[in-house]
């Protein structure tokens, strides 16, 4: 049991508001925290004075305040995910001789934040700051496979939402659903020649505290290299699990 119950309730309240699509009522917050509504109002008023929540009187609802946004922005400025993942990528590259990446979802794209490349590795298009269609990359599909299906449908409503680089990869919502279902069951994703012909990548997603995909770690090698994707997948899954632990995340069923 927490020795500082008010602080624990405040943090749980912030986390609850962060997961909602919009402002919520005090009664909904009270039900989530399991405390009387009078106690919730006291907590909300104190947090509003500090700017962490804001009250919408016309709607009789509460939402996140500017101070909560500032905390999130500060986390991004300090490169939190990158700092936590960088040593993991370095270890992967040293152990496997493969090129390691850290990617996040940016809409329907994979945005690469980190790249760890061994000496004399062949050049790859996947540099830091590069964005590629998520449905073609192992990193992107590792994260898409962990999203609610309705969110995936919103990103890929029809065949017009799909692009191709090499003529390979899912090209319709139905094909993507089948690929994601298989990779979700397996626990890791693979792409072979869908981004660049002659290269194969495997990836696994790290989760945040809500069980949503926060980022993905991938390994890329030339297709002709004598190493099985399964061998790389074991290492990349372990690295993603460690990143999940470092992020304070949890893996959803």
| 252, part of any domain | no
H-run or E-run covering 114? strand 109-116
Q: Are residues 152 and 36 in the same domain?
A: no
pLDDT at residue 19 greater than cutoff 90? no
Q: State pTM to two decimals.
A: 0.71
Is residue 68 located within the same domain as residue 168?
Answer: no
Residue ending a domain, choose from 73, 94, 120: 73
Q: How far apart, in Å, are the Cα atoms of 113 and each of 26, 191, 221?
A: 38, 19, 19
User: How far from 82 is each of 35, 51, 189, CA to CA, in Å?
Assistant: 37, 28, 21
If asked whether residues 62 and 122 sit together in one domain, one would say no
Residue 70 banded pLDDT, cuts 50, 70, 90: confident
Give the integer Cα–Cα distance in Å for 207 and 204: 10
The DSSP line for 1-66 is: --S-HHHHHHHHHHHHHHHSSS-B-HHHHHHHHTS-HHHHHHHHHHHHHTTSEEEETTTTEEEE-H
Flag whether 123 is in a domain. yes
End-to-end CA distance of the chain: 26
Same domain membership, residue 191 and residue 97: yes
Instruction: Give the pLDDT confidence of 153-177 residue by residue, as tens digits.
Output: 999 999 999 998 888 989 999 999 9
- In this structure, the answer to whether residues 90 and 44 fall within a common structural domain is no
CA distance 32 to 43: 14
What is the tally of structural domains in the chain?
2
CATH of the domain at 167: 3.30.450.40
Is 108 a residue whose pLDDT tops 60?
yes
Residue (of 191, 188, 192) closest to 217 by Cα position? 188
- CATH number reported for the structural domain that contains residue 53 in this entry: 1.10.10.10
238 and 215 assigned to the same domain? yes
> Domain limits at 110?
79-246
Residue 219: pLDDT above 80?
Answer: yes
Same domain, 212 and 144: yes
Give pLDDT tens digits for 123-151. Answer: 888 888 899 999 999 999 999 999 998 99
44 with 93, same domain: the answer is: no
Domain boundary among 21, 40, 73: 73
Return phi, psi of residue 214, to 5°: -95, -30
Residue 253 forms part of a structural domain: no
Which residue did the predictor score with more confidence, 27 or 126?
27
Phi-psi region of 187 (alpha: psi -120 to 50; beta: other; left: phi over 0): left
């Amino acid at each position: 049991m927490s020795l500082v119950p008010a602080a624990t309730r405040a943090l749980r309240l912030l986390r609850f508001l962060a997961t909602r699509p919009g402002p919520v009522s005090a009664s909904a917050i009270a039900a989530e925290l399991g405390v009387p509504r009078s106690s919730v109002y006291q907590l909300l008023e104190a947090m509003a004075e500090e700017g962490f929540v804001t009250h919408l009187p016309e709607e009789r609802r509460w939402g996140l305040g500017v101070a909560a946004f500032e905390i999130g922005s500060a986390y991004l400025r300090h490169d939190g995910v990158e700092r936590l993942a960088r040593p993991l990528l370095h270890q992967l590259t040293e152990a496997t001789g493969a090129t390691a990446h850290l990617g996040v979802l940016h809409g329907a794209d994979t945005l690469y934040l980190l790249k760890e490349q061994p000496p004399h590795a062949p050049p790859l298009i996947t540099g830091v700051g590069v964005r590629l269609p998520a449905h073609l990359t192992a990193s992107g599909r590792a994260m898409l496979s962990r999203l609610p299906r309705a969110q995936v449908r919103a990103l890929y409503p029809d065949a017009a939402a799909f692009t191709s680089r090499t003529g390979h990869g899912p090209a319709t919502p139905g094909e993507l659903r089948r690929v994601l279902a298989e990779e979700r069951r397996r626990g890791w994703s693979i792409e072979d020649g869908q981004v660049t012909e002659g290269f194969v990548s495997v990836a696994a997603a790290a989760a945040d505290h809500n069980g949503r995909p926060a980022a993905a770690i991938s390994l890329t090698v030339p297709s002709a290299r004598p190493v099985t994707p399964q061998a790389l997948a074991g290492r990349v899954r372990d690295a993603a699990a460690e990143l999940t632990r470092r992020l304070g995340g949890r893996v959803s069923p």
